[in-house]
Structure 1
């Protein structure tokens, strides 16, 4: 029988990108949900639409029961409860999401034991950042004898092609300080602080700032031997960075906690990007810099990835895991972040199947190895 996939929030740009990846790489039938009575887009073959308000928990439970895999992409996740995940565990149905809120993910991971007992594979934060970003870090760390510090940064052009939701997420995460592990100690970090200008593929030099990310939470758990984690985010064009900095550091803190203010800022920002997307486009560039010990010598490693459309890249990240679950290649009961659920060989195979490439370079401090830097592409 044809496998059935429920994409909650499937009428949004990320949801439609995930659906497009599944149509290309699986034979599954897809149910895309939204709040409207009718979809505002054209349905493709093997797709149907279901109006499904998440507040109607009985309807959500009935919809989940009719499917083999549920993909939750109705953000922002900081405002969501865990009813969909809990229902999937209770009904023994595989679960994926694109959660981008550390608070939401922290709570979701507490259901690991229940999911293991039920035999349910659940993977959270499966898009691009977080998602592919975690797999890139794992790819690099696994090549070290001892990884000591990791700096993960990304640039997103304009709206990223993800609609107004990404704006809401950005402003929500400016509300409060967060913690990151620095030199073995957890330290409080001010959001959108300590600007750095780094070199990225696609965009050249770009400014990035401390940002509260899921990766800082889950990667520190996955790789406890790493003593320093830096996670930074920036926008293209650069003046968006300066505007966001002003919001984070000059706007009264009470305003940032107001849903009305957040929605106003999100809508204004989205309208601005609808203009600038015409020349900045909607791509993403990521870089993972790792320092540590390799072959007994201090070494620096740099991994980079870029894609012309952030939403499509997120679709590939989640679609890859959905494909592996539907095919039976990924069965790991519990609730996991991507880097704990997805082995590197499978990650590389999924990237190759989608013609996505990763650049890697090494630099060794020993004089005799200064010229041994190498660059690899996947697919190889």
Structure 2
């Protein structure tokens, strides 16, 4: 069971959801048919399993290229699931399948270096609700440029709706909302810290994503000014609390930095990521020095690296496990410092539960027509955030919101007379 400690004062809690509304939302789910693209992969497969457990009556269409893997997934999920062989680059066949579903969940990454938002375009043409687990800044803001077309087609769409980015964006939005509700100071600095042991058990796609990100300059914001930094620099040792402890994290170019800066209006924003064992971090630093950025931006060359490193990564995964943790810190002008913390034993499970939580929010009518980031209230309504976080945090070893750092860290700073110093 998750340790769900929302820890929000009564004046900051989200509006309660009526029993009648909950029943209507459940009815919407039952009648819905969902296509999961990339369902034969680790992220898509985990999402399908999570959806089948969270909402057993949903009709799931598992889209992928490998028929054997697809049929194996159907056998695992059982009733209310079927496989569809799909090539997302074939617009006509993709549209034919989309015309028969209520929502498409796009997990067929990596999204880095992708030149088109072909699935979103097909969803708009067929008037199908859409979401993706994009973790690339360029792709995410390209998807955002389809806003007017999505509104005209009257379809809701959310981009970057996975675990991180995704749940981390919603956590940030809630921290900012809670801070502003007290009217004591303005949010000044927002920092995202992520940790995953090994590859997180999430397969070669995640490995490819990590390598491709090493080929991108890191975009961060300092007092409202956009700055560019070298990837996998700026090391910090961050305390992720119970079950994880202190880990080294490094700068990476992630879309939630730009989106939360612009949408939540926080002037200083950055994101860092770290992995384990510690020598993987050394390896990532070495790659940024050994390979030119042009090499790391080439998807074909990166795929060759993935094939080379994947066997050894699998071996290490068996030793290191796949724990994952997200820490989101907010500092305000009045000295207030709060955080949200999410830790889970298995990334391969938590990413599916998190993605499924967004899918259910869309099906329940939380999302307005248009293309939205998770932190936008038109994407996930303020009153729907608590339910989303509750769903996404199922199975966590630690989940807290709006706590002072000393209350969750394994080695907190000294507390004197109630003041965190």
**1:71 aligned to 2:82?**
no
What residue number does 1:376 align with? none
- Any conservation in 2 of the 1:363–1:370 contact (CA below 8 Å)? no
Q: Which runs of 5+ in 1 are unaligned?
A: 374-380
Partner of 2:248: 207
The SS at the match of 1:298 is: coil
CA distance in 2, matches of 1:253, 1:324: 38
Pick one of 279, 284, 308 that aligns with 1:244.
284
Q: TM-score, normalised by structure 1?
A: 0.90
Q: Are residues 1:38 and 2:72 paired?
A: no
Distance 1:318 1:110 in 2: 22
Q: What is the match of residue 384 of structure 2? A: 346
Q: Which sections of structure 2, spanning at least 5 residues, go unmatched?
A: 1-29, 181-185, 407-414
Give the distance between the partners of 2:54 and 2:67, measured in 1 at CA.
29
Selected match of 1:101 from 126, 133, 136? 136
Question: Separation in 2 of the partners of 1:267 and 1:74?
Answer: 18
The one of 359, 372, 379 aligned to 1:336: 372
- 1:234 corresponds to which residue? 274
Counterpart position of 2:34:
5
Give the 3-state SS of the residue equivalent to 1:71 in structure 2.
strand
Divergent runs of 4+, >4 A: none
Q: Match of 1:362? A: 404
TM-score calculated relative to the size of structure 2:
0.82
Shift of 1:372: 6.9
Change (3 A) 1:158 1:344: farther
Distance in 2 of aligned mates of 1:309 and 1:17: 11
Deviation readout 1:26-65 (Å, 9 max, x if unpaired):
2211111111233263412211111111222111110111
Alignment of 1:126-275 (within 5 A): 126-145=161-180, 146-201=186-241, 202-224=243-265, 226-275=266-315
Q: SS of 1:332's equivalent?
A: coil
CA contact (8 A) 2:113 2:297 kept: no
Q: How far apart are residue 363 of structure 1 and its match?
A: 6.7
State the match for 1:23 in structure 2. 52
Asked if the contact 1:208/1:235 (under 8 Å) is kept, the reply is yes
Stretch deviating more after TM superposition (120-129 or 279-288)? 279-288
Residue 122 of structure 1 and its aligned partner are, at CA, apart by: 0.1
How far the C-alpha of 1:313 sits from its partner, in A, is 1.4
CA distance in structure 2 between the aligned counterparts of 1:115 and 1:20, rounded to whole angstroms = 29
Is the Cα contact below 8 Å between 1:157 and 1:235 reproduced in 2?
yes
Three-state SS of the structure 2 residue aligned to 1:331 is: coil
Contact 1:299 1:363 in 2 (8 A): no
- For 1:316-358, what per-residue CA distance to the aligned partner results, in whole angstroms no more than 9, with x for missing partners? 2221121122233x13111001111223442222333453552
CA contact (8 A) 1:159 1:270 kept: no
8 Å CA contact 2:325, 2:343 repeated in 1: yes
Alpha-carbon contact 2:223-2:267 (below 8 Å) kept: yes
Change (3 A) 1:268 1:68: same
Structure 1: distance between partners of 2:79 and 2:371: 32
TM-superposition CA deviations, 1:253-298 (whole Å, max 9, x none): 34323434311222233222211122211121111111104xxx32
Q: Take 1:176 and 1:9, find their aligned partners in 2: how far apart are those partners?
A: 25
